[in-house]
Amino acid sequence: MAYEAVWMKNPDKLNKFELYKIEKDGLDIIRDIVEKYAKEGYDSIPEDDFNLFKWAGIYRQKPNTGHFMMRIRIPGGVLTSAQARVLAGIGRDYGRGLMDVTTRQAVQYHWLRIENFPDIFERLASVGMSAIEACGDCPRTIVGNPLVGIDPDELMDTSPIVAQFEKFFLNNRDFSNLPRKYKMSISANIYNNASAEIQCLAFTPASKVIDGKEVIGFHAMVGGGLSAKPHLGKQLDMFILPDECLKVAIGVTTLFRDHGYREKRHYARLKYLVADWGIEKFQEELIKLIGPMPPRGEDRIVGWNGSYFDGVHKQKQPGLNYVGLNVPVGRTSSDEFDQLADLADKYGDGTIRTTISQNILLTGVPDEKVEALLQEPLLQRLSPNPNRFMSRTVSCTGNEFCNLAIVETKEFARRVALYLDEHVELDQPLRIHFIGCPNGCGQKHVADIGLQGSLIKTPNGMVDAYDIAVGGTLGPGAKFNTVLKGRVRGDLVPGVLAKLIEFYKAGRNGSESFHDFVHRVGIPVIQEKLTEILAAAA
């Protein structure tokens, strides 16, 4: 440890896990998994060490009978076909062929066992990949523009910056013991396709006239995050040149490490420090670490597309295209990943890209090959032209595998989307996100309609139910959605949503979006309609 753990000056103010992390750094668990636990078996693992497994990208899988879920880092969401085949093989050999694309552009497995991990780590390393620090109190997978390098709407190629961050922070023991999880994004796309406002630290496209010449660079937001108490990131008053991004990131991360809260884990995210200090004090402390910075320039974000890219689109390279494929609720398989790798090599540039909307892109497809690609059988399920609601439905893992989730979400979300596509015609995209607990991995707070799982008591016992929130968006005018009163029993959710959406259709002005409709008519009007729908369903 090359720094002073200043928080240890008052050890009586630390939670129990903080004391354990001082005794054993999270990165040490990698060695223990390979050299000890994989050989001695699941029952040999001390309870405290299960919490450190997160630094290896690993969580115990519900119902805690010896299986694990695991996340793989995919910085910026860009994979080679060779990497995709290795991921497919791991899933096939150890994860029952199941693979999920997550809202942080990662790939997630289930059904893994402790004895599998040495081989998994070795396979990942063979293609330059890692699960290390995909989870844990450390800098997690860096989210980026999935169209990096090919994007007509990016101000610069940010892949060198993502790679620089990955090289610096990964396995760096100066930053492997943070107060809690720490999430960064880097994108120069003008449609905010890395969802900057909900990151701990986000770099967004900006420009500034310096010495009479327009210079492209970044602004930075700090203190965003979701969970039970969501916060929108606040913008620092500084213009950041591309080669200064890492300096700023080191400074922000150092402030979080040294001053972030370590007494209560539910109050340990960077968002709470930024909120308590205020953005002015936070910037003052940052400047003490990194030196003076020029003030903000011009924001270049003009909207938010939610990182959706269905269909065929022109790249900035003449004659080449990228094809956005819908992965229903992010769930795919080893067989499909192998096929994607084959299609990437046969029709494209050998690259597969994952998005924070849980979908996949194939890139570098020449004009003359597009039609043949669209005829491939895989594109019947992973469709470039998905149905309206299925195309915009996102779900967390749910209680099928997650110990924190209260309800099942993946299959339920898929069935709700199918119902809506069968019963509601809509000419506007409408984003519906499902989460199984307050942690918000499915990012329900920023959805047009967000559903959070809960339970309600009925004459037949406790049953799944959902709280409904409406009106979220990011980008200019970013706003979290508002939770409506009236918990909806699970079996009623499809019909209730259909009626709410029909209410929107009947009352909108022209092509008005759902978000704009909600904020024009007001939450009380939407609440009144939901209350009416629930009364009729009772």
Structure tokens that stand for 322 in this block: 């990228």
Strand partners, 452: 435, 467
Do the Cβ atoms of 61 and 173 come closer than 8 Å?
Answer: no
**How many residues in the chain?**
538
Per the annotation, the verdict on 181 as an active-site residue is yes
Per the annotation, the verdict on 436 as an active-site residue is yes
Q: Tokens 């015609």 — which residue?
A: 425
DSSP 507-532: H--TT--HHHHHHHH-HHHHHHHHHH
Structure tokens that stand for 458 in this block: 């009925």
Residue 190 Cα distances to 98, 225, 373, angstroms = 34, 21, 29
Distance between CA atoms of 494 and 131, rounded to whole angstroms?
37
Q: Is the peptide bond before 384 cis (omega within 30 degrees of 0)?
A: no
Beta carbons within 8 Å of 287's beta carbon, 6+ residues apart: 293
In 375-392, which positions are buried (b, 16+ CB within 10 angstroms) versus exposed (e)?
eeebbeebbbebbbbbbb
DSSP 212-233: TEEEEEEEEEE--B-TTS-B--
Beta carbons within 8 Å of 391's beta carbon, 6+ residues apart: 308, 310, 326, 429
Task: Select which of 54, 60, 62, 71 is catalytic.
Answer: 71
Do the Cβ atoms of 75 and 166 come closer than 8 Å?
Answer: yes
Distance between CA atoms of 29 and 148, rounded to whole angstroms?
33
Task: Select which of 180, 183, 208, 529 is catalytic.
Answer: 180
**DSSP 3-state assignment of 341?**
helix
Task: Select which of 95, 144, 324, 436 is catalytic.
Answer: 436
Q: How many CA atoms lie within 13 A of 472 on its CB side?
A: 28
Task: Select which of 181, 183, 234, 499 is catalytic.
Answer: 181
Per the annotation, the verdict on 271 as an active-site residue is no
Task: Select which of 442, 453, 471, 472 is catalytic.
Answer: 442
Do the Cβ atoms of 379 and 311 come closer than 8 Å?
Answer: no
> Residue type at 22?
I
Distance between CA atoms of 41 and 36, rounded to whole angstroms?
8
Do the Cβ atoms of 153 and 191 come closer than 8 Å?
Answer: yes
Q: Tokens 């002015």 — which residue?
A: 280
Would you say the C-alpha torsion 413, 418, 419, 424 has a positive or negative sign?
positive
Task: Select which of 73, 91, 441, 499 is catalytic.
Answer: 441
**DSSP 3-state assignment of 427?**
coil
Strand partners, 235: 221
Q: How many CB atoms lie within 10 A of CB 99?
A: 25
Distance between CA atoms of 216 and 193, rounded to whole angstroms?
18
Catalytically annotated residues: 71, 180-181, 436, 441-442
